[in-house]
Amino acid sequence: MQLLDGKALSKKIELEVTSDVKTLKDKCGCTPGLAVVLVGQDPASATYVNMKKKACDRVGFYSITHDMPQSISQEAIEKTIIMLNNDTNVDGILIQLPLPEHIDTTKLLELVEPAKDVDGFHPFNVGRLVTNLDGFVPCTPLGVMELLKEYEIDVKGKNCVVIGASNIVGKPMASLLLNADATVEICHIHTDSLKKHTLNADIILVAVGIINLITDDMVKDDVIIIDIGVSRTTEGKLVGDVDFENVSKKSSFITPSPGGVGPMTIAMLLKNTLKAAKINAKDKK
């Protein structure tokens, strides 16, 4: 069994991004800029945003957080996004999810300029992903693909089971695997007999947030496990969706949780923002 170390790879990517940022600054005086819209006081969201800001500082990005109260109106957030769309110092816009119930999340995501949609949630970028065209890809599934590439795991022809069908992880994950010539199944809350699907899988990618959903009797020998889920136990410990202790004994490769996919998500946000900045720099010439 070999661990897929996302923490180590994310540090490697940060060094590459830092170097590219310096080159970009030397060439055109451009500094990649990321703006984050944070609404409400959700502790997990605040933690993620703080981690993203620290990562931006480490690689030399300009970053700004628009911290808004829980009671803010839809119109006020829309005005902020329009302002950021028009701000030439901002290359990427990230709306931290989830948003309060009274906010129309879909409308806000569609309002972000596709060229600044570094989260890859705009329908324009979703469409380009599905049709295997260049665009911005959601950071978590993109990070998974980078992790597989780093450990020379070729998904071509492999039976891949994606568990979870969210727009943020499950669906784009399946599209990326399909684009890489994998055979893909998507399982979700209405799937009959999850075990029937996972037992045939060469690679299992799970992102649902249910502790110990995947147990050792559900996987075959030498399976590759990508655990994307994150939950907190009653003791306060962060864990994934996989019974790591027992499943790891049957795995050829497995991600730890935390320390596997999580760090890669932020690393891909940096790469996407840098990509947007490079495109913008060309447009300014």
Catalytic residues: 52, 96, 119
Nearest-angstrom CA–CA distance, 219 and 203: 10
Cα 248–Cα 198–Cα 217 angle in degrees, nearest 5: 55
One DSSP character per residue, the chain reads -EE--HHHHHHHHHHHHHHHHHHHHHHH----EEEEEEES--HHHHHHHHHHHHHHHHHT-EEEEEEE-TT--HHHHHHHHHHHHT-TT--EEEEPSPPPTTS-HHHHHHHS-GGG-TT--SHHHHHHHHTT-SS---HHHHHHHHHHHHTT---TT-EEEEE---TTTHHHHHHHHHHTT-EEEEE-TT-S-HHHHHTT-SEEEE-S--TT-B-GGGS-TTEEEEE---EE-TTS-EE-SB-HHHHGGGEEEE--TTTSSHHHHHHHHHHHHHHHHHHHHHHH-
Q: Rounded to the nearest 5°, which phi and psi values hold at 34?
A: -125, 130
CA dihedral over 214, 218, 221, 224, signed as positive or negative: negative
Nearest-angstrom CA–CA distance, 168 and 222: 28
